[in-house]
Structure 1
Amino acid sequence: MAKLRIGVIGCGSIAQYRHLPEYSLNNEVELVAVCDIVEDRVKEVAEKYNAKAFTDYKELIQSGEVDAISVCTPNYLHAPISIEGLTNGLHVLCEKPMATSQEEADAMIEAANKSGKKLMIAHNQRFVRSHQLARQLIESGTIGKIYSFRTAFGHPGPEGWSIDGKESWFFEKEKAYIGAMGDLGVHKTDLLRYLLGEEIVEVGAFIETTAKEFADVDDTAVCALKTESGIIGTLAASWSYTAKEDNSTIIYGEKAIIRLEDNPTYSLVVQYTNGEVVNYELGKIQSNAEGGQNTTHVIDNFVASIVDNTEPLINGEEGMKSLAVILAAIKSNDTKTIAKVFE
């Protein structure tokens, strides 16, 4: 069978750390085209991966040279590029957050349904071994009834790893729409929905800019979340964790507490109410600093969904539901009220 021809649109850090190296390691695909508005950057990437360089995404999409694309651009371009790709019969893997509004997300899903092509959103937390095992423990009833949770995702900020440093689009409201909540918080809303197996229905949020005075987006958010069955917990997303990244989640259950990515040695620790403690050493959570050698499995899942004609693990609907929690958090902060996720 002929290899899938891939185009990567946007050649910034996420493409260079993740998409490009992970596609190049996948035997089912051929990386044939790359696109970026910065000509020097796209030429350099094209040369490295022996791909054709484009500076206009529409030209790449309409070239007839690719079967699928990765959308690795600033947030405000996620929807228009994804819709353009789907409408032109291409499969689309879109970085998170999938869009900047409910309307955009709906339009992306509609374009995927009409075209019959795959739309996947690049949420990688569902592929982390500790998270997958925790979901199994929760589903099997080992933990009993879930009472509460807390999750956090924070680091010193995108300027440390973004290709453009402090000049990065991450800090511009027009291009990013939302800061730490869109960059990190949406990962955790997706993870919580996956772990708990139910939807988040209400959000109370405080969203501020406390550390990045040069930014016109938020850098720190703390949210209280409530699920459909009434589980309540907290989510923190921040670019102000100056010394060390925190990517931990704790689930408080009737029979045990699950600690995820909270211990430097054990990525999953289960503390049972009878005093028993089970430690799982499952390898580190992926970090962008390690590049393609420590795969996120996102690319592989996307490629497999096309080759095997299966549903991607995080399709458009899943991406939309995780985004909806973030949109509700913004609404809560703006109105100083508890916001419903789906009204």
Structure 2
Amino acid sequence: MTVRTAVVGAGTVSEVHLSGLEKNPRTDLVAICDVDLDRANEAATAYDITPYSDLEDLLARESLDWLHVCTPVQTHLEIARTAIEAGIPVLIEKPVTETVAELEELQRLSDRHGVPVSPVHQHLFDPAMRTARRLIRSGNVGPIHGVDVIYTGLTPPDAAKRGTWVFDLPGGEFEEGLPHPIYSGLAVGGFPKSTDDISANTRLAGEYEDDFAYDTAQLQYESADGALCTLKMLSGSKPRHEILIHGEGVSMRLDLILQSVETIEDEYHLSSVDKGKQAISRSANHLTDLAANLRLVADAQLNDDWETATRMNPHYAQFDRTARALEADGPMPVSLESSKWTITLLEALRDAATPESLRATPS
């Protein structure tokens, strides 16, 4: 089975979808749809596919097995609804919806029609995250007592990397990037025990012409398995993307920029000689990770095959895993439940950034 696929949205983020679907031997990229027909035509010419400016026209004319949604978040629910009601599985760029209520409606639609829906959480397929999650699944890490996510150097609210639609978000472009550290923390630390266990703090550190609510954020929660999880996300600082996983058997430090994983198994009380040996061992492991990454880059330069591409590009890796799941009628590699908790934590940040007197109250 070759999965016939189309992309909705021909903006910035769609390029990685179009290129990945064209290269993937399991998918057949057939169409692009955008309300701006000129933009759709440009993408269609580049990939030799059919352009559309109307989603219902696309679904009526093309026999699709999969739809990728790469439009502004404000449009996601209605586009997904149209596809689901037509029986077409959907992959949706993050954030999947603006609110938890919309996400829950999306879950109900998916369940009612028996149509799988999955979010794009591509950094779960980065080499360091794959290694860490494999070690956790193996049981070697043991019970996880805590997780610390540190994501600094994020884009400030007033940038428009994804388009001016981000300015409708309370945190602007800064908020648009927050799902990445949030879903990464959830993947290794687990989902919160309940919404009551979530603590959120925000601050507006910079000065901007537009009225943004926050550009720094911190989340804390206890997971269902008892892990204490903290996520610190800052703009206006130097980039540092790290995850510390504190396991009973093994602890880990993930450097998500260098894609290295440091494992810590030694006890704290060591002699000076043993501490020196530990320092040498850790440095050697770090160099080994860097060498492996260099080999991966070299392979990508020399080999244009799909398998190598999926090791280098986390988007491609997720597309491949999801296409395999569709072929086998299996579960999606990234669940909507992951997205639900991501948006739940985002809503907690929005609430923390918004004075209580200005928050919307249920009618």
Q: By the TM > 0.5 criterion, same fold?
A: yes
Structure 1 pair 181–301 and aligned structure 2 pair: CA distance change class (3 A): farther
Q: Return closer, same or farther for 1:95/1:200 CA change in 2, 3 Å cut-off.
A: farther
Distance 1:34 1:311 in 2: 26
Work out which of the two has the higher radius of gyration on C-alpha atoms and give 1 or 2: 2
- Counterparts of 1:74-153 in structure 2, within 5 Å, are 74-153=72-151
Maintained 8 Å contact 2:159/2:173: no
User: Within 1, Cα distance between the matches of 2:153 and 2:37?
Assistant: 30
Is 1:6 aligned to 2:8, yes or no? no
Stretch moving more, 201-210 or 311-320? 201-210
Give the letter aligned to residue 226 of structure 1: E
Give the aligned partner of residue 195 of structure 1. 188
Q: 1:250 offset after TM fit, Å?
A: 1.1
When residues 155 and 74 of structure 1 are mapped into structure 2, their CA distance, relative to the original with a 3 A threshold, is farther
1:207 and 2:217 are equivalent in the alignment: no
Give the Cα–Cα distance (whole angstroms) in 1 for the partners of residues 3 and 137 of structure 2. 36
Structure with greater proportional helix content: 2
**Distance in 2 between residues matched to 1:335 and 1:260, nearest whole Å:** 36
Map 1:1-343; keep pairs closer than 5 Å.
1=1, 3-16=2-15, 18-157=16-155, 162=161, 164=163, 168-170=164-166, 172-173=167-168, 176=169, 179=172, 182-199=175-192, 201=194, 202-211=197-206, 213-217=208-212, 218-241=214-237, 243=238, 245-261=239-255, 264=258, 267-274=260-267, 276=278, 277=282, 278-279=285-286, 281=289, 283=293, 293=309, 294-296=312-314, 297-334=317-354
Q: How many residues were matched structurally? A: 321
Secondary structure of the residue aligned to 1:117 is coil
Q: Aligned partners of 2:232 and 2:62: how far apart in 1? A: 43
- 1:183: Cα distance to partner? 2.6
Unaligned runs of 5+ in 1: 337-343
Cα deviation digits, residues 199-253 of structure 1 (max 9, x gap): 3532222234434714544432222232234432321234434x5x432211123
Question: What is the TM-score with the length of structure 1 in the denominator?
Answer: 0.81
Q: Is the 8 A contact 1:89 1:115 kept in 2?
A: yes
Does the aligned pair in 1 maintain the 2:144–2:246 contact within 8 Å?
A: yes
Once the 2 structures are TM-superposed, how far is the Cα of residue 155 of structure 1 from its aligned partner?
Answer: 4.0
Contact kept, 8 Å, 1:100 with 1:177, in 2: the verdict is no
Percent identity over the alignment?
21
Question: Once the 2 structures are TM-superposed, how far is the Cα of residue 84 of structure 1 from its aligned partner?
Answer: 1.2
| Residues 169-188 of structure 1: per-residue CA shift (max 9 Å, x gap) | 22x22xx4654664333222
Whichever residue aligns with residue 134 of structure 1, its letter is: A
**One-letter amino acid of the structure 2 residue matched with residue 53 of structure 1:** P
Alpha-carbon distance between aligned partners in 1 of 2:207 and 2:165, rounded to the nearest angstrom: 14
Unaligned runs of 5+ in 2: 268-274, 357-363
Q: 1:109 to 1:156 in 2, by over 3 A?
A: closer
Contact persistence 2:193–2:225 (CA under 8 A) = no
Aligned counterparts of 2:355 and 2:148: Cα–Cα separation in 1: 24
Indicate how the Cα distance of structure 1 residues 179 and 227 shifts in structure 2: closer, same or farther if over 3 A, else same. Answer: farther
Q: CA separation in 2, counterparts of 1:155 and 1:200?
A: 29
Please identify, of 117-126 and 208-217, the stretch whose mean Cα deviation from structure 2 is larger: 208-217
Aligned Cα RMSD in Å?
3.1
The question of whether the paired residues in 2 share the 8 Å contact of 1:143 and 1:253 is answered with: yes
8 Å contact kept, 1:147–1:253: yes
When the two structures are superposed, what TM-score results if normalisation uses the length of structure 2? Answer: 0.77
